[in-house]
Amino acid sequence: MSLLVTDIGELVTNDPALGDGPLGLRRDAAVVVDGGRVAWVGDARSAPAADAVLDAAGRAALPGFVDSHAHLVFAGDRAAEFGARMAGEPYTGGGIRTTVAATRAATDDELRANVARLRGEALRQGTTTIEIKSGYGLSVADEARSLRIAREFSDETTFLGAHVVPPEYADRPDDYVGMVCGSMLAAASPHARWIDVFCERGAFDVDHARAILACGQAVGLGVRVHANQLGPGPGVQLGVELGAASVDHCTHLSGADVDALASTRFDCMCPDGGHTTTVATLLPGAEFSTRSPYPDARRLLDAGVTVALATDCNPGSSYTSSMPFCIALAVREMRMTPAEAVSAATAGGARALRRDDVGVLTVGARADLLLLDAPSYLHLAYRPGVPLVSTVLLNGESQ
Ligand SMILES: [Zn+2]
């Protein structure tokens, strides 16, 4: 069954060849989807016929959001910790261990139900592609089952056995790293596409992080890094050194960090004309929820670095599944333009996952399309907190 989505008041394609500016904006547009893919993009008045019609009635349409950083496999919540933090306690990352204990105690069905709940929440807010990390099991069996459950919901699964050193290894971190690279990686890698490390003071130092990421690469996993969140550090440059698809957080960057990211830029015959092979993924929900200074998005963008926005959805430092919320924060708090923020939440997220079939509405792309109850994408930042996503097509199917 083909579907014609017509009378789109403003269409974001993310392909400058299809319309105005970097977003490739078109007015009075239509899109035909067929077999789960975009089959045609053009003017509504010259659209071909299709088996069914969806009248957008002048509303804005854009690609589904690509949330390239989320921790959905866990049990319990940490509302009390959030309350204490808002009353003045600092965020240290130590609360991760609270969630590890709850996750280990949960059944598979409890974990699965929690992922399903959060995946559904994200989808209703327009997220059509979501990366899901492990990292709250931190034992061979619990990391493997976390990824097995994550795989039921997404192909973009990430092994984060190196989230923190679990309590039982607190005085022998070398042994833990050995296990992550050995039996844990062997059990986890069949269910994962990516490997990630929290490279931060109090988590994993640069030597441990490099060793773990190299082990993952050796078995074919792509590299991502939690880097430079709580303070300056070597994580971003380690990510560039290892050819990471993305370095995430990037809250505390030196000039050398920005230069290293910019050095991965190349021009290509692709919709955006060029990008950095290592993307800087910014997670403003974490700064919001830990009441911390936001990353300097302008400095990255002005240096030519490709930026993605993601939720970091997790029960400790950013318990939001809302990409529109992150867009609003990026515009208000990080001085991104609404166009830059929407691009980062769609095409940028796709770059961070090395995907060219999502984050764009071009012929051949996956038919992941949102209609907003608004005439323009600008409303995503202009009307913060308002549920504007009114229709979600995933693989061409209305959700
Ligand atoms: Zn994270």
In tens, the pLDDT along 331-375 reads 999 999 999 999 999 999 999 999 999 999 999 999 999 999 999
Ligand 1 center from residue 251 Cα (angstroms) = 13
Which tokens in the block code for residue 35? 């077999």
- Is pLDDT at 391 greater than 70 in this prediction? yes
Read off the pLDDT of each residue in 38-55 and give the average, rounded to a whole number: 98
- pLDDT score recorded for residue 93: 63
Q: Give the pLDDT mean for 93-117.
A: 93
Gap from CA of 315 to ligand 1 centroid (Å): 10
282, 295 contact by CB (below 8 A): yes
Q: Residue 172 C-alpha to ligand 1 middle, in angstroms?
A: 24
Nearest to 144 by CA among 160, 130, 168: 160
Q: Which positions ≥6 away from 290 have C-beta within 8 Å?
A: 85, 91, 317
Both tokens of 221, joined, read 């996993």
Report the separation in Å between the CA atom of 71 and the middle of ligand 1, taken as the mean of its atom positions: 6
**SS3 category, 97:** helix
Give me ligand 1 centre to Cα 299, in Å.
Answer: 22
Q: Say which CATH class 3-64+360-398 falls into.
A: mainly beta
Tell how far the Cα of 35 is from the centroid of ligand 1, in angstroms. 34
CA of 134 to the centre of ligand 1 (A): 10
Q: What letter would DSSP give residue 347?
A: I
Residue with tokens 């899109």: 31
Cα of 17 vs centre of ligand 1, distance in Å, is: 34
**125 Cβ contact partners less than 8 Å away, ≥ 6 residues apart:** 65, 321, 322, 323, 324, 387, 389
Q: Average pLDDT of 160-182?
A: 97
- Look at residue 100 in the predicted model and tell me its pLDDT: 96
CB of 282 closer than 8 Å to CB of 253: no
Mean of the pLDDT values across residues 256-266? 95
Which residues, by Cβ under 5 Å, contact ligand 1, an ion? 312
How many angstroms is it from 382 CA to the middle of ligand 1?
27
Average model confidence (pLDDT) for the chain? 96
Kindly give the distance from the C-alpha atom of residue 304 to the centroid of ligand 1, in angstroms, as a whole number.
24
Instruction: Give the position of tokens 């202009």.
Output: 382
Helix (H, G, I), strand (E, B) or coil at 172: coil
State how far the Cα of 39 lies from the Cα of 3, in Å rounded to an integer. Answer: 10
Cα-Cα-Cα-Cα dihedral sign, residues 41, 46, 52, 57 = positive
Residue 340 to residues 23, 88, 108, 110, 135, Cα–Cα distance (Å): 9, 33, 39, 38, 31
The fold of the 65-352 domain, in CATH, is TIM Barrel (3.20.20)
What's the confidence (pLDDT) of residue 89? 86
95 CA from centroid of ligand 1 (Å): 13
Amino acid at 73: V
Distance 69 CA to ligand 1 centre (A): 6
- Cα 26 to middle of ligand 1, angstroms: 35
| 297 Cβ contact list (under 8 Å, min separation 6) | 282, 307, 330, 334, 335, 336, 340
Q: Which one-letter DSSP state was computed for residue 90?
A: P
Ligand 1 centre distance from Cα of residue 78 (Å): 15
Between the CA of 90 and the centroid of ligand 1 the distance, in Å, is 18
| E strands present in the chain | 3-11, 26-34, 37-43, 52-55, 60-63, 65-67, 127-130, 132-133, 157-162, 194-199, 222-227, 246-249, 265-267, 274-276, 279-282, 307-309, 369-372, 389-394, 397-398
Q: How far is the CA of 286 from the centre of ligand 1 (A)?
A: 9
37-43 and 65-67 strand pairing: unpaired
Q: Which residue blocks in 60-124 are alpha helix, DSSP H?
A: 79-86, 96-105, 108-124
Query: 186 CA to middle of ligand 1, Å?
Result: 22
Confidence of residue 318 (pLDDT cuts 50, 70, 90): very high
- Enumerate the CATH 3.20.20.140 domain ranges in the chain, comma separated: 65-352
- Residue 251: pLDDT band by 50, 70, 90 thresholds? very high
Q: Is 344 exposed, middle or buried (0-12, 13-18, 19+ CB in 10 A)?
A: buried
pLDDT for the residue 323: 98
Q: Can you say whether residue 210 is alpha, beta or left, with left for phi > 0 and alpha for psi between -120 and 50 degrees?
A: alpha
Q: How far is the CA of 394 from the centre of ligand 1 (A)?
A: 25
Distance of CA 218 from the midpoint of ligand 1 (Å): 23
**How far apart are the CA of 226 and the centre of ligand 1, in A?**
6
> d(Cα 61, Cα 41) in Å, to the nearest integer?
12
**Token pair recorded at residue 66:** 């690509």
What's the 310 CA to ligand 1 centre distance in angstroms? 9
292-303 pLDDT, tens digit per residue, is 999 999 999 999
70 alpha carbon to ligand 1 midpoint, in Å?
Answer: 6
Rounded to the nearest whole angstrom, what is the distance from the C-alpha of residue 150 to the centroid of ligand 1? Answer: 15
Closest CA to 197 of 133, 140, 254: 133
User: What pLDDT was estimated at residue 78?
Assistant: 93
> What is the β-pairing status of strands 157-162 and 194-199?
parallel
SS3 of residue 354 by DSSP: coil
d(CA 277, CA 260): 11
How far is ligand 1, taken at its centre, from the CA of residue 164, in Å? 12
What's the CA-to-centroid distance between 47 and ligand 1, angstroms? 43
Chain region(s) in the chain for CATH 2.30.40.10: 3-64+360-398
What spacing in Å lies between the alpha carbon of 133 and ligand 1's midpoint? 8
274 compared with 12, residue with greater pLDDT: 12
Query: How many A from CA of 15 to the centre of ligand 1?
Result: 29
Token digits of residue 126: 């327009």
Residue 222 has phi, psi (to 5 degrees) of -80, 160
